[in-house]
Amino acid sequence: MAEKERLDMFCYQCSQTARGTGCTVKGVCGKEPTVARLQDNLLIATKGMAAYLYHARELGYTDTEIDAFLERVFYSTFTNVNFDAEDLVRLAVEAGEMNVRTMRLLKKAHIETYGEPEPTDVQTGTAKGRSIIATGHGLKALEELLKQTEGTGINVYTHSELLPAHGYPGLKKYKHLVGNLGISWRDQRNLFSRYPVTILGTSNCVLIPREEYRDRMFTTGPARLPGVQHIAGYDYIPVIKKAKSLPELEEKPGDVVLPTGFSKSVVLSLRDKIKQLVEAGKIRHFFLVGGCDSPLKKMEYYREFVRRLPQDTVVLTLGCGKFRINDLDLGEVEGIPRLIDLGQCNDAIVAIDIATALAEVFGVGINELPLTIVLSWMEQKAVAILWSLFALGIKGIYLGPIVPAWVNDDILKVLKEEYDLRLIGDPEEDIKQIFNRRC
């Protein structure tokens, strides 16, 4: 009991803090544990937004209304400002709305800079030649790397959340963007040890490197790693120099080809066909299975869930959680692929726009669509997205692999009551429950 109470909150942001080390039961200022946790929740969600905003700004896109909201949020978590739990929930919903706006800004930036993605099959083997692997989310960093390596004979591979880069016309035009190596961020250490090539980390989801490849790894943008050379700006000469000093990779085809690049326009160009297939009972249900990957054993749920889905279902995916399922051959339903990769986690905005458009096509509300969201979260961007989905009134989301640690029983109760939030359980049972609810 004492242990639980001690862990109920943690705040050490002001000089009143208990014992000079931290308020862990209740704030000396009077802050209740649930208020402290809701403040943490708000900061966690807005950190996710900040990452998207950063990448939009990199491409010259900004929004002063979002900036002003961030100021308001940070101020509301200041000492002795806001002790109102209900208001902190309202602010979290507002953060969800602002994150929709932020994801839309970033999508606009990506499309206006690189064109709208088009369906693309990405190779997963190696081509002969010296190579650089780019990991993270930074399309701008990848573009600069591609420009600077063009004509040098160096091949560039994506890793993890850069896989969707292959679908953008402005990036896929570079012939030396040859494929994707590895899966999500969690395989970095093994992957980078296995391939003796240069590595560029462009954003979050970089891991502290093993010694064996530290000297051939570089960071750029917001990423920094101990003992790893950081490139401020976009001058990648040291990266290219290192790549030229390393051995060539051999030609070795991959075991699978990964499909990506399904944009809003591509999916909505199929809307009449989708309507016809749904009305004919040939597509029974859509699932959005995506979000973050993580090494937790419970992440196996997502692959099992998708493997057990019947043939008359279509799976949309996004984020690096897709690497749990994107090697599965799910086939098609009369020309509609059963696995549709919409892109990075910020492309949740594409999923939202598609769902909204399909709701119009079927003349129903978004919650009446035959669609269930099965979300995996690891870090702050996924939390921002979760609040965006709540802000849009989307109910019945399945969330895993675990309940966020800052969500106590009181907060979980509100999320269940207000948003019908469900926690992932057994894949088979969850699928049955979803279909039973729909019948």
Q: For ligand SF4, which stretch binds (CB under 6 A), given 21-29, 146-154, 207-215, 409-417?
A: 21-29
Of 5, 6, 16, 295, the one binding ligand SF4 (CB under 6 A) is 16
CB atoms within 10 A of CB 90: 11
Cross-strand partners of 309: none
Give least dist CB 241 to ligand SF4, A. Answer: 28
Give least dist CB 78 to ligand SF4, A. Answer: 9
Our CB check for ligand SF4 shows the closer of 17 and 313 to be: 17
Pairing label, strands 131-135, 155-159: parallel
Which residues ranging from 223 to 252 are in contact with ligand SF4 (CB under 6 A)?
Answer: none
Pairing label, strands 313-317, 339-341: parallel
- Fill in the per-residue mask, 144 to 183: x = in contact with ligand SF4 (CB under 6 A), - = not in contact: ----------------xx----------------------
Which residues ranging from 312 to 351 are in contact with ligand SF4 (CB under 6 A)?
Answer: 319-320, 345
- Fill in the per-residue mask, 87 to 126: x = in contact with ligand SF4 (CB under 6 A), - = not in contact: ----------------------------------------
| Six token digits for residue 260 | 């990506």
Residue with tokens 């979760």: 386
Length of the chain: 439
Report if residue 29 touches ligand SF4, rule: CB under 6 A: yes
Sign of CA dihedral 338, 290, 183, 160: positive
Of 31, 55, 130, 285, the one binding ligand SF4 (CB under 6 A) is 31
Give least dist CB 26 to ligand SF4, A. Answer: 8
Q: Binding residues for ligand SF4, how many (CB under 6 A)? A: 27
Any residues with CB less than 8 A from the CB of 288 and at least 6 apart, and which?
A: 315, 316, 317, 318, 351, 355, 371, 372, 373, 374, 375
Report if residue 52 touches ligand SF4, rule: CB under 6 A: no
Which residue of this chain has its Cβ atom nearest to ligand SF4 in the complex?
27
Any residues with CB less than 8 A from the CB of 196 and at least 6 apart, and which?
A: 216, 246, 247
Give least dist CB 106 to ligand SF4, A. Answer: 13
Our CB check for ligand SF4 shows the closer of 11 and 315 to be: 11
CB atoms within 10 A of CB 302: 27
| Six token digits for residue 249 | 């990779």
Our CB check for ligand SF4 shows the closer of 161 and 240 to be: 161
| Six token digits for residue 143 | 């573009």
Q: For ligand SF4, which stretch binds (CB under 6 A), given 6-14, 68-76, 169-177, 384-392?
A: 6-14
Amino acid identity at 263 = S
Any residues with CB less than 8 A from the CB of 270 and at least 6 apart, and which?
A: 336
Q: For ligand SF4, which stretch binds (CB under 6 A), given 248-256, 330-338, 379-387, 390-398?
A: 379-387
DSSP 23: B
CB atoms within 10 A of CB 388: 26
Per-position DSSP letters for 119-174, written without gaps between them = -EEEE-SB-SB-EEEEESS-HHHHHHHHHHHTTTT-EEEEEGGGGGGGG-HHHHT-
Of 11, 217, 239, 431, the one binding ligand SF4 (CB under 6 A) is 11
Give least dist CB 122 to ligand SF4, A. Answer: 16
Give least dist CB 352 to ligand SF4, A. Answer: 16
Of 79, 190, 311, 356, the one binding ligand SF4 (CB under 6 A) is 79
Of 77, 120, 204, 313, the one binding ligand SF4 (CB under 6 A) is 204
Our CB check for ligand SF4 shows the closer of 48 and 179 to be: 48
| Six token digits for residue 201 | 């980390």
CA 398 – CA 421 distance, rounded (Å): 6
Give least dist CB 380 to ligand SF4, A. Answer: 8
Of 7, 12, 25, 147, the one binding ligand SF4 (CB under 6 A) is 12
DSSP 367: G
Report if residue 44 touches ligand SF4, rule: CB under 6 A: no
Residues 197 and 133 sit within 8 Å (Cβ to Cβ): yes
Of 182, 379, 408, 419, the one binding ligand SF4 (CB under 6 A) is 379
Cross-strand partners of 337: 332
Of 104, 110, 381, 422, the one binding ligand SF4 (CB under 6 A) is 381
State the angle between helix axes of 380-391 and 85-114 in degrees (0 to 180), rounded to the nearest 10: 100
Which stretches of the chain bind ligand SF4, using CB under 6 A?
Answer: 11-14, 16-17, 23, 27-29, 31, 79, 160-161, 184-185, 204-205, 292-293, 319-320, 345, 378-379, 381-382
